[in-house]
Structure 1
Amino acid sequence: MLHYPAWKTALVLLICAAGVVFAAPNAFYSTVERANDARAAIEAGTAGPEAEAEAEAWPSFLPSSLVNLGLDLRGGAHLLVEVAVDDVHAERLDALWPEARRTLRELRDQVGPFRRVERDGEAELAIRLEDAEAADIAVDALRELAQPVGGGLLGAGGPDLEVDAEGRNISIRLTEGAIAAMDDRTMAQSLEIVRRRIDETGTREPTIQRQGADRILVQVPGIGSAEELLAIIGKTAKLTFHMVDSVTDAAGQAGPNQIKMPDAEDAGRFYLLERDALITGDRLTDAQPGFDSRTGQPVVNFRFDAAGARRFGEVTAANVGRPFAIVLDDEVITAPNIREAITGGSGQISGSFTVESASNLSILLRAGALPAEITVLEQRTVGPDLGADSIAAGEIAVVVAFGAVLVVMFASYGMFGLYANIALILNVALLLAILSLIGATLTLPGIAGIVLTIGMAVDANVLIFERIREELRAGKGPARAIETGYERAFTAIIDANVTTFIAAVLLFAIGSGPVKGFSVTLGVGIVTSVFSAIMVTRLMVAVWFARARPKTLTV
């Protein structure tokens, strides 16, 4: 065993060297972070004049992956928001009205005249017939509009609508199963869209998770304020395209098939638009900030999918010469005249944009529209001073633990303890390198995991060295004692570390937030500890023994 093959020696040295190289950027954290941010800004076209100098502060050919600092270390923004799921129920019933109207029109000879009745505060679609005796026919026809909850082939969840009649009045409501399924879809979609919007900003490792029936917790390290975070995720970003009937002022009234929308830039200007949107933003496949080729002003360039491009081409071809309003969150961003059919499936949103606002709008459009508005229940900003204190305290804990372990190991095992200490240093480097490469987030519990790893890392060496002592006391020679010590300690080392690794995996799978941070550092630390204790120390002992050839051995 003391003969170490050349290939194995090269592999261990290569892994250790890679660990040191990839862990090194964390020693220059702020410099590397600024360089990474500057390069990202340059690629996105939003860089300032100082970006080039910041990007060159850390050479691009060197590794630049960093361990992400969590909210408790780096500071950032904390938001707890509530999703207005009730609005989604109302939208579903509103969207049902055209189908119900078409169904009843086909039976006009049997049901007679009908109209929709607005009922404030009630989640139902109310229809009033002129002939009460036709209610049963209308109810049977409207029940055909129901779909199985969840869209299953067998409809195991039951219908999503319930239709009742009382005299001339017909009520269409969502069933409890439909409401539950719709709420789950709304929350899942909101979580995904919030995550995509934050990811688009390049922010590292946010915490985004559902809380309760209709709430979302968002924690983002590195954001300057909760208001800045809310500006990114708080907008619904619902984009629609409508034909413009006329322009009016605040006193103007919308007709029965019109909606009145304010101009985003002129507070006294309003547009009367066709109520039905000709195309919606869910047909967008891409949106990017850019600059107008004629004016040089910031704009947002967008592109539709195949169906959206076809519809966009048909609409513009049929309405050449008419103004076409682009509506974002119930405001008319721009209303240009259609000069010719736009058949390429792409277009441009212009307005009083800055480079930053054009970039933010493109992020919102790419991520998609939130299915419902969100209301902030709790917001706070965690200052960097608290994070700095936490980092300082964590550094002290690591240094004290590290120093104590080094002293005890050297005092207990002499030269072999020195080898264990060198392996321990390399172990920490490997741990930081892996955390950097996988983009893990380091929190206070994560620092606790590192301290625990330092203590556990030498445990394997203690088992090995004590086993070597036993073999020496049994009268075996140095070479045989070392060989037997490593062989017989191997099983105990693997058993102990595998059980701890299983615990770390379970913590990661079941836990959330800080618990996951602890489990990641613990799990990775176990892997690096076993490698450093078994492979690195064996290599150093083998090299020393091949050169010294001692006749006696003291451990």
Structure 2
Amino acid sequence: GQIRQFIGQQYPQWQVTGHQQTLSINLSENEQLKLTNLTVQQNLQIMRSRIEELGITEALVQRQGEHRIRIELPGVQDPATAKNVIGATASLAFYPVMQADSANAVVMNDEHNEPVYVSKKPVLGGDHIIDARATTGDFGMAKVNISLDAAGGKLMSDFSRDNIGKPMATAYSEYSRDQQGKAKQTTTIISVATIQSQLGNRFEITGAGSHEEAQQLALLLRAGSMTAPVTIVEERTIGPSLGAENIVNGFAALALGLSATLLFMACWYRRLGWVANVALIANLVMLFGLLALIPGAVLTLPGIAGLVLTVGMAVDTNVLIFERIKEKLAEGRSFASAIDVGFDSAFSTIFDANFTTMITAVVLFSIGNGPIQGFALTLGLGLLTSMFTGIFASRALINLVYGRDTRRAIKV
């Protein structure tokens, strides 16, 4: 009865069943559900962090069912590498090296399968690591620079201060599943180093292998360790034929919108409209060029939607300028004067409109993920290119074509 009362008061999430002699303690169903949801959400966040480290901008990571996570990686040329990084469950821990006959010692093998006796309790675990960078040390050997949080830095500082001249082992742990589907943990000692001085929240470890292995280890440590081990249960590679129809429809919508816009500008604004059309085509060429320069950027349907929106917003810049020019011409100003005043007076309105839209694009890219980031990226780059082509390029074209002959009349 006392045990039941103690567990009920101190650990209400556990349920006690059975008789007086034999008690069974289990988590309640609600607590199990909460634990499952928390674990999946944490793994979701860690996978998104790892995908960001890989530089994939339009990846889709979402929960599917109770225990599964669905990941879509558009434009990935090496799925094996991405799969190894995303699904890896790795962590580091730092242990004091003990004598073989010590009561608190456990044995772990190093990379050469030699036994190393360490303490049962680590100095600190990988949850205190906030940053890790792979660099090259003496004699070209790869090493990983580790940065700890405040709590981890204090633990390492206190331990190293009291154990100068003694060895400390770095253990690398990774989860995998056997043929029966059961999770198993493999721990390897990757380095044993003697503490030369008191360490703080920044130090380095060696023995991480090649430069590529050190970079992958640093990436996993930066993105975080999985809360629970994950394994790939299904993998599909979707070829371009499956999405060809959607891509064709997307570009058809872009071509239709672009053609209608070009025709309207040419008919409504006459010769100034042709200037706007040249600037609009230059805008799209610049936008495609910027997308090609950004590592990991791919053009999917949300990106195409951003292109279609960019077409309308780019022309809106010229519409504002040309309407101001028409107003100044109606007031009796000369063509050259109307051009100057029209561009200058419209600039503040155009800048304000594009700046507020840019804020929206930045927020979408910051808090969104997957397709939302792709749309925001295209929209943001389109705003920059449309400002340049709509204001500076258009004015340069007008000055080049009409500026040499001040007697030339133009209808607007």
TM-score, length-scaled by structure 1? 0.50
SS of 1:418 mapped into structure 2: helix
For residue 238 of structure 1, give the secondary structure of its aligned residue in structure 2: strand
Mark the CA change 1:546 to 1:170 in structure 2 (over 3 Å): closer, same or farther: farther
Deviations 1:278-299 (A, max 9, x none): 4322233443334553x65334
Report whether the alignment pairs 1:139 with 2:9. Answer: no
> Following TM superposition, by how much is the alpha carbon of 1:373 offset from its aligned partner in structure 2, in angstroms?
0.7
2:300 is matched with which residue?
Answer: 444
2:44 to 152, 172, 191: 191
Q: How does 1:103-502 map to 2 (within 5 A)?
A: 136-146=1-11, 159-164=12-17, 166-201=19-54, 203-212=55-64, 213-220=66-73, 223-242=76-95, 243-244=97-98, 246=100, 261-266=108-113, 269-270=114-115, 273-291=118-136, 293=138, 296-302=140-146, 304=148, 305-313=152-160, 316=163, 320=166, 324=169, 326-329=171-174, 330-334=186-190, 336=192, 339=194, 342-345=197-200, 349-351=205-207, 353-381=209-237, 402=258, 406=262, 409-410=265-266, 413-425=269-281, 427-428=283-284, 441-445=297-301, 446-451=303-308, 453-454=310-311, 458=315
Alignment of 1:83-98 (within 5 A): none
**How many residues were matched structurally?**
378
Question: 1:454 is aligned with what amino acid?
Answer: V
2:235 match: secondary structure:
strand
**1:474-502 alpha-carbon deviations (Å, 9 max, x no partner):** xx78769999xx9xxx9xx99xx99xx8x
1:374 is displaced (CA, Å) by: 0.9
- What is the match of residue 181 of structure 2? none
Which residue of 1 is the match for residue 183 of structure 2?
A: none
Question: How far did 1:356 drift?
Answer: 0.9
**1:184 CA displacement:** 4.2
Q: Is the 8 A contact 2:168 2:195 kept in 1?
A: no
SS in 2 for 1:138: helix
Query: 2: CA distance between counterparts of 1:478 and 1:409?
Result: 24
Alignment of 1:73-88 (within 5 A): none
Query: AA paired with 1:276?
Result: K
Percent of aligned pairs sharing the same letter:
30
The answer for unaligned runs of 5 or more in structure 2 is 175-185
For the 8 Å contact 2:75–2:298, the answer to whether it is kept is no
| Superposition deviation, residue 519 in structure 1 | 6.4
Cα drift, residue 376 of structure 1: 1.0
Question: Is 182-191 or 398-407 further displaced after alignment?
Answer: 398-407
Aligned partners of 2:190 and 2:208 also within 8 Å: no
* CA deviation after TM superposition for structure 1 residue 370, in Å: 1.5
- Give the letter for the 1:450 counterpart: L
Change (3 A) 1:540 1:185: same
Tell me the SS of whatever aligns to 1:333.
Answer: strand
Partner Cα separation in structure 2 for residue 524 and residue 554 of structure 1: 33
Paired with 2:190 and 2:296, the residues of 1 have a C-alpha distance of: 43
Shift of 1:143: 3.8
- Return the alpha-carbon distance in structure 1 between the equivalents of residues 277 and 73 of structure 2: 37
Structure 1 residues without counterparts, runs of 5 or longer: 1-135, 147-158, 248-254
Q: Quick one: structure 1 residues 352 and 536, their matched pair in 2 at CA, closer, same or farther if it must change by over 3 Å?
A: closer
Q: Please tell me whether the aligned partners of residues 241 and 279 of structure 1 are also in contact (alpha carbons under 8 angstroms).
A: yes
**Deviation of residue 357 (structure 1)?**
0.9
Q: CA deviation at 1:463?
A: 10
Q: What is the CA-CA distance between 1:409 and the residue it aligns to?
A: 4.3
* Cα distance between partner residues in 1 of 2:369 and 2:385: 24
Q: CA deviation at 1:344?
A: 1.8
Task: Tell me which of the two structures has the higher relative contact order, counting C-alpha pairs closer than 8 angstroms and 6 or more residues apart.
Answer: 1
Tell me how far apart the structure 2 counterparts of residues 289 and 467 of structure 1 sit (CA, whole Å).
Answer: 56
Question: Following the alignment from structure 2 to structure 1, what is the Cα–Cα distance between the partners of residues 232 and 160?
Answer: 40
* Distance 1:372-1:311 versus aligned 2 partners, 3 A rule: farther
Q: CA deviation at 1:350?
A: 4.0
Relative to structure 1, the CA distance from residue 415 to residue 384 in structure 2 (aligned partners, 3 Å threshold; closer, same or farther) is same
Q: Residue 108 of structure 2 contacts residue 189 of structure 2 at CA under 8 Å; is this kept in 1?
A: no
Does the 8 A contact of 1:316 with 1:341 survive in 2?
no
Amino acid at match of 2:222: R
Q: Is the 8 A contact 2:172 2:188 kept in 1?
A: yes
Q: Tell me which structure has the larger Cα radius of gyration.
A: 1
Q: 1:316, CA displacement in angstroms? A: 3.4
Normalised TM-score (structure 2):
0.64
Measured in 2, the distance between the counterparts of 1:289 and 1:353 equals: 11
Instruction: Find the residue that maps to 2:209 and give its secondary structure.
Output: coil
Match of 2:179 in 1: none
Worse-superposed segment, 520-529 or 189-198 = 520-529
How many Å separate the matches in 1 of 2:208 and 2:334?
81
* SS, match of residue 378 in structure 1: coil
Alpha-carbon distance change, 461 to 292 in structure 1, aligned in 2, over 3 angstroms: closer
**Does the CA-based 8 Å contact 2:265-2:274 persist in structure 1?**
yes
Query: What RMSD over aligned residues (CA atoms) do the two structures have, in Å?
Result: 5.5
Q: 1: CA distance between counterparts of 2:391 and 2:142?
A: 59
CA contact (8 A) 1:279 1:312 kept: no
Structure 1's 316 and 177: CA in aligned 2 closer, same or farther, altered over 3 A? Answer: farther
